[in-house]
Chain A
Amino acid sequence: MSNATQSRSQLWLETLLQALAQRPGGNAAGQQASARDWRLPTRRSEAWRFTDLHCLTRLDPTRLHTRTASPRWPEAFRQASSGQESPARLCLQLDSSGHWLGPQGEPPPWPRGLMPLPSGNITPGQVARTLMPSGPLPLGAALNGVTPGPSLGLQVSGPDPVHLDLGIRVEQSQAWLAPHVLLVLEPGARLCLSWHVAATARAAVAPMVEARLGPGAQLEEAAMTWGCPEAAFLGGSFVHQSPRSVYRRTSVTWGWGLSRDEPFIRQRQGQAETHLHSLAVARGQSLLDTHSTVYFDGPAGQLQQRHQALADDRGHSVFNGRVVVPRAAQETDASQLSRNLLLSTKARIDTKPQLEIVADNVQCTHGATVSCLQDDELFYLQSRGIGRDQASRLLQRGFCEEILQRLPQAALSWPPLRSLLETPTPDQP
Chain B
Amino acid sequence: MLLSIENLHACVEENEILRGVSLQIRAGEIHALMGRNGSGKSTLSKVIAGHPAYTVTAGGIHYRGQDLLALSPEDRARSGVFLGFQYPVEIPGVSNLEFLRVSCNARRQRRGQEELDTFAFEDHVRETMAIVQMDPAFLERSVNEGFSGGEKKRNEILQMALLEPLVAILDETDSGLDIDALRIVANGVRRLALPTTATLLITHYQRLLDAITPDFVHVMAEGRILRTGDKDLAMALEQRGYDWIDETNGSDTRQP
Contacts of A424 in B (CB 8 A): 102
Known: A379-B52, A394-B99. A385 touches B106 (CB 8 A): yes
Most A CB atoms within 10 A — which of B78, B92, B94? B94
Q: B106, A375: Cβ atoms under 8 Å?
A: no
Interface residues of B in 87-106 (CB under 8 A from A): 88-89, 91-94, 98-99, 102-103, 105-106
Q: A382, B74: Cβ atoms under 8 Å?
A: yes
**Within 8 Å of chain B (Cβ to Cβ): is A44?**
no
Q: B99, A383: Cβ atoms under 8 Å?
A: no
Q: A383 to B89, alpha carbons, bound, how many Å?
A: 11
Q: A377, B91: Cβ atoms under 8 Å?
A: yes
Q: A395 to B93, alpha carbons, bound, how many Å?
A: 8
Q: B91, A383: Cβ atoms under 8 Å?
A: no
Q: A395, B77: Cβ atoms under 8 Å?
A: no
Q: A423 to B118, alpha carbons, bound, how many Å?
A: 12
Q: A385, B78: Cβ atoms under 8 Å?
A: yes
Known: A375-B52, A423-B98. A387 touches B106 (CB 8 A): yes
**Within 8 Å of chain B (Cβ to Cβ): is A17?**
no
Task: Provide a sorted-by-A list of 5 A–B residue pairs whose CB atoms are within 8 angstroms.
Answer: A375-B53, A383-B83, A385-B74, A385-B78, A401-B93
Q: A380 to B72, alpha carbons, bound, how many Å?
A: 13
Q: B51, A379: Cβ atoms under 8 Å?
A: yes
In the A-B complex, the 10 residue pairs with the smallest Cβ-Cβ separation, listed nearest first, are A398-B93, A401-B93, A385-B106, A384-B103, A385-B77, A380-B89, A382-B73, A398-B94, A385-B78, A382-B74
**Within 8 Å of chain B (Cβ to Cβ): is A328?**
no
**Within 8 Å of chain A (Cβ to Cβ): is B228?**
no
Contacts of B50 in A (CB 8 A): 379, 382-383
**Within 8 Å of chain B (Cβ to Cβ): is A400?**
yes
**Within 8 Å of chain B (Cβ to Cβ): is A388?**
yes
Contacts of A388 in B (CB 8 A): 72, 74
Contacts of B242 in A (CB 8 A): none
Contacts of A399 in B (CB 8 A): 92-93
Q: How far is the CB of B242 from chain A (nearest CB, A)?
A: 29
Q: A402 to B103, alpha carbons, bound, how many Å?
A: 23
**Within 8 Å of chain A (Cβ to Cβ): is B49?**
yes
Q: A382 to B159, alpha carbons, bound, how many Å?
A: 13
Tell me what chain A mostly uses at the interface: helix, strand, loop, or mixed: helix
Contacts of A381 in B (CB 8 A): 91, 99, 103
Contacts of A379 in B (CB 8 A): 49-52, 73, 89
Contact of A385 among B89, B98, B107 (CB under 8 A): B107
Q: A58 to B170, alpha carbons, bound, how many Å?
A: 60
Interface residues of A in 371-429 (CB under 8 A from B): 375-377, 379-388, 390-391, 394-395, 397-402, 423-424, 426-427, 429
Q: B106, A386: Cβ atoms under 8 Å?
A: yes
How many cross-chain pairs have Cβ atoms below 8 Å apart between A and B? Answer: 92
Contacts of B76 in A (CB 8 A): 383
**Within 8 Å of chain A (Cβ to Cβ): is B110?**
yes
Q: How far is the CB of B72 from chain A (nearest CB, A)?
A: 7
Q: B102, A390: Cβ atoms under 8 Å?
A: yes
Q: How far is the CB of B148 from chain A (nearest CB, A)?
A: 18
Q: B109, A426: Cβ atoms under 8 Å?
A: yes
Q: How far is the CB of B111 from chain A (nearest CB, A)?
A: 11
Q: How far is the CB of A308 from chain B (nearest CB, A)?
A: 10
Q: How far is the CB of A67 from chain B (nearest CB, A)?
A: 39
Residue of B nearest to A375 (CB): B52
Contacts of A423 in B (CB 8 A): 98, 102
Contacts of B49 in A (CB 8 A): 379, 383
Q: How far is the CB of A425 from chain B (nearest CB, A)?
A: 10
Contacts of B93 in A (CB 8 A): 397-402
Q: A388 to B37, alpha carbons, bound, how many Å?
A: 31
Residue of B nearest to A428 (CB): B109
Q: B163, A380: Cβ atoms under 8 Å?
A: no
Q: B102, A380: Cβ atoms under 8 Å?
A: no
Q: A424 to B99, alpha carbons, bound, how many Å?
A: 11
**Within 8 Å of chain A (Cβ to Cβ): is B22?**
no
Q: B91, A384: Cβ atoms under 8 Å?
A: no
Q: How far is the CB of A423 from chain B (nearest CB, A)?
A: 7
Residue of A nearest to B49 (CB): A383
Contact of B88 among A380, A382, A395, A397 (CB under 8 A): A380
